[in-house]
Amino acid sequence: MATVGGGIKSADDIPVLFRYERLIIIVLCLVAAVRVFIFSAAFPFFNNVDERAHFDMVLKYSRGHLPAAPLEYGDPVAAEIIANSETGEFMDIHVDKSPDILAQAVAYLTNRYNPETWGWPAYYFLAGLWCRLGESLAITGTELLYWIRFLDVPLMAVFVWLSWLFSRRFFRDNFQERIAIPLLAAFFPQDVFYAITSDVLSPVVFAAAFFMLLEIGLSEKSWKYHLFAGLLVAATFLTKASNITIMPLAALVILIKIIRASRRKQIKQYLPALIAFAFAAIVPIAIWLGRNYILFGDAVGSAASIKLRTWTIKPLSEMFNHPILTPSGFIYFICELTKTFWRGEFVWHARLIASAFMDWFYVISSGVFLFALILNKTGSCMFRRVALAAALFVLVFSVMFLAFMSMRYDFGTCVYPSVDKPYFTSGRLIAGVILPFLFLYVEGLHRILSKLRCASSLLFVVGIIVAVITISEIVLSWSVFASPYNWFHLK
């Protein structure tokens, strides 16, 4: 028995290789989970990326409360936990914990709109259930905050496992590439994995939906498979509006399947699977959008939050008068987006947790490897070419979506994005495409090494990249571990 490229020579090799490879992946999943646990525990509350607002929503969902208005005031219980757990270290602000000040903080939070009220529900449903489990275990206060944050630990382990399933499918002939992608996934330094935020679910559900859509496009699957894939597409879209790129990919895959079935005169046989997929993908989304329209008069639900942020929609004639359409503006947008896509946006004592050297490494390596992939037209199996095209499609579409949103609004008095810097450069907004990006990144690196006749060193090079990223992350966050208010110092 042989695979494409002759990677496995006989049937006797399969069990040994499979056990060896799976053991490596299990270890990577555990290491990734431990890494996320340590960093999640090291950061106190609350970070500078809307963590208070997300916690308020999780607590509301845990009680079965779905927003009845596009903006709602903070929950009193959440406000009390926030006031008692806030340290101010992220923004280097002294937080007075005297009873009078705490009472004022609680009153302020309960009389302040939560701008994430309209946020789409998938993460909040999951985190709400996780919160209920924690409460049933008598976990309260700041410990409950960490419990919710620790949901990121199994999510990261699942993400690494999914990255292996994906790479095993599309790198059957290359053991090194099959390990390289989950290795990078396990140590990817994006800080959404250390926070209470809806962004943390996007990489997991997007990866699963992306993988299943490719399988549907490349092979014959049952109606049950189509049903589950449709549910994952809906879950991906209902996690974050910026995951919208999964929708055109799904539509394209299904259209190709319909055309193929029609040419083979098998449209009747494909009809049950098509109906199952359409029902599972469309109905949950339609229910949510319809609910928003009935309650808020706005299907997306974001209009009130946009108004609160002082954003206004530009006339079409003004949209194209935007610096992103200039060479310098576009370069700024792409570079900043690439940096935050890799390492996130946390600050510590009002200083960005970032290294100029690592930021430029992220930008340059990403650009070089992706260009090498696009320009190098070396042959590969059809399955891999299709997967690479799909990965490039969702990555480019996601970037274009943020560019379009940057052009669409006048940002008023908002601090970010602002009139001076009118760009959405938060990589967390498109964290869903981390796996497709890593697929392109590793394949681009592999093609460069192949040209240099050292393709066998791929895993070694990726290992060095991972080591540099990890050392940098530890050094940059070292002072965070000394915080007297993090999980390690809870009494």
User: Are residues 321 and 185 located together in one domain of the fold?
Assistant: yes
Q: How far apart are CA 363 and CA 351, in angstroms?
A: 20
| Residue that has been written with the tokens 């809906």 in this structure | 234
User: Are residues 242 and 316 located together in one domain of the fold?
Assistant: yes
User: Are residues 348 and 384 located together in one domain of the fold?
Assistant: yes
Using alpha carbons only, give the angle 45, 46, 51 rounded to the nearest 5 degrees: 125
Q: Both tokens of residue 426?
A: 């938060």
Phi, psi of 298, rounded to the nearest 5 degrees: -150, 110
Q: pLDDT: is 430 or 269 the higher one? A: 430
Determine the pLDDT at residue 19.
63
Instruction: Say if residue 18's pLDDT is above 80.
Output: no
Choose the final residue of a domain: 149, 175, 201.
149
Determine the pLDDT at residue 164.
95
Sign of the CA dihedral with 313 first, then 318, 323, and 326 last: positive
User: Are residues 241 and 368 located together in one domain of the fold?
Assistant: yes
| Residue that has been written with the tokens 């199952």 in this structure | 276
User: Are residues 125 and 207 located together in one domain of the fold?
Assistant: no
User: Are residues 144 and 268 located together in one domain of the fold?
Assistant: no
Average pLDDT, the chain: 92
User: Are residues 77 and 168 located together in one domain of the fold?
Assistant: no
Which of 335-344, 372-381, 455-464: highest mean pLDDT?
335-344
Q: What is the pLDDT of residues 104-126, one digit of tens each?
A: 999 999 999 999 999 999 999 99
From 470, 437, 459, select the one nearest 369 (Cα to Cα): 437
User: Are residues 222 and 239 located together in one domain of the fold?
Assistant: yes
Any idea what DSSP says for residue 389? H
At 5, the pLDDT band (50, 70, 90 cuts) reads very low
Determine the pLDDT at residue 473.
96
At 414, the pLDDT band (50, 70, 90 cuts) reads very high
Determine the pLDDT at residue 380.
65
Instruction: Say if residue 6's pLDDT is above 50.
Output: no
User: Are residues 318 and 303 located together in one domain of the fold?
Assistant: yes
User: Are residues 246 and 119 located together in one domain of the fold?
Assistant: no
Instruction: Say if residue 7's pLDDT is above 90.
Output: no
Q: pLDDT: is 194 or 265 the higher one? A: 194
DSSP-derived pairing of the beta strands 113-114 and 347-348 = unpaired
User: Are residues 134 and 174 located together in one domain of the fold?
Assistant: no
Q: pLDDT: is 204 or 9 the higher one? A: 204
From 199, 486, 478, select the one nearest 340 (Cα to Cα): 199
Domains: count for the chain: 2
User: Are residues 254 and 363 located together in one domain of the fold?
Assistant: yes
Domain of residue 280 covers 4-43+152-489
The predicted model gives 52-67 an average pLDDT of 96
Instruction: Say if residue 10's pLDDT is above 70.
Output: no
The amino acid at residue 224 is K
At 11, the pLDDT band (50, 70, 90 cuts) reads very low
